[in-house]
Amino acid sequence: MRYLPLVLMLTAGCASTLANTTSAVADRHILPATLRGSDATLGCAAGEALSAIMGGFGGHSANAAQTNIVPMLAAGICLEQDIWQAEFRRLRAHRAGEVEEATDARIEEQRLHRLAAARYLASYDLVVDTWGLPAADGQCPTLRHERDEFYYLMGLCAGMMASIHNSKAQGAAGDTGHLPPTILRASTCVDDQEWWGVPLALRAAISTALPGQATVDAWKMFDDAASIGEAAGVRLAGAFLVQAAANTGDDARRADSLRRFAASLATPADPRWAMLDDVGRMLAMHESDVLWTEAEGHRTPYGELGRLPSTAEAALPDAGDLLEGLDL
């Protein structure tokens, strides 16, 4: 027994060394390679696996906890596909008048929304634990490297997604009402141009969601953010624009933003961030699929992102009218 303290100390030291080594390998090799891949589904699967490993090391290494920000975000993205399958099942059942099937699909959606919110919230909390949030005087946390800025921004995106999913899970993941205004302030701590317009898009999305904040200025911010992302070949901001238009019930703007997103795909993705660009494509495709499923009972026809179902197209004003009165 007298050697037990020494054994425990050596064991803890080994765990810390292993955690730091694993984190370094993930930071320098695994995550960059994953982000270069253009298959977001494969990337989210890698995130699920890596998040379990990094989470196990989190108590032994601050580096491992930081590294787990992106895998936890990716683990949340994995659940999006499951949520969408339940959503489409509900929409088709509703069209067919199948009450029990629609109810069951809705319950499945809510359960998955809760789990997604918890995963996204874990990613956001790691950012707060590592760097903190802007001070009361607006002073931003110290982000020393590009890696820090990237992780910080991804954590803010995770926080926004946590808030959205938790609202759809009826608050089952806890109180997230403080997240939108907090993220709005924190998003000013990373550069809009450098990070594909995403910080600006976060502020625009939150402005459209908060009561009384859906102003022309917010949509102008979205337009600017989407333009930055389109030029950079990382179209997350454009996807957030599509989502915001759908969430605010603006069918005309949703249709216009879907057409715009589809047209932007002519610009090649930035190979360094190809997976994030594909995540943007997935998010935009989901909103298109919802539109098609509601109108026709099936998803967007293959290769036709940007084309609207005829029933939805007929209900929209002329494209020229969509921007009338906006100072864009």
Residue 84 has pLDDT above 90, yes or no: yes
Query: Residue written as tokens 């080594």?
Result: 21
- In angstroms, the Cα distances linking 267 to 94, 232, 270, 324 are 38, 9, 9, 27
Domain boundaries defined on the chain: 19-190, 193-328
Q: What is the pLDDT, as a whole number, of residue 221?
A: 95
- Cβ–Cβ contacts within 10 Å for residue 15, how many? 15
pLDDT at 320: 43
Percent of the chain predicted with pLDDT > 70: 81
Residues 6+ apart with CB under 8 A from 88: 289, 290, 293, 299
pLDDT digits (tens, 9 = 90+) for 214-240: 555 899 999 999 999 999 999 999 999
Mean pLDDT of 198-207: 95
Question: CA–CA separation, 159 vs 121, rounded Å?
Answer: 6
Find the helix or strand (DSSP H, E) in which 57 lies: helix 40-57
With bands split at pLDDT 50, 70 and 90, how would you rate the model's confidence at 317? very low
- Report pLDDT digits (tens) over 85-107: 999 999 999 999 999 999 999 99
- Using a pLDDT cut of 90, give the percent of the chain over it: 66
Determine the average pLDDT of the residues in 127-143. Answer: 92
Identify the pLDDT of residue 308: 93
The pLDDT of 41-65, averaged and rounded, is 72
Q: How many residues does the chain have?
A: 328
Evaluate if pTM is beyond 0.75: yes
Residue 136 vs residue 28, higher pLDDT: 136
The mean pLDDT of the chain is 86
Residues 6+ apart with CB under 8 A from 22: 53, 54, 57, 64
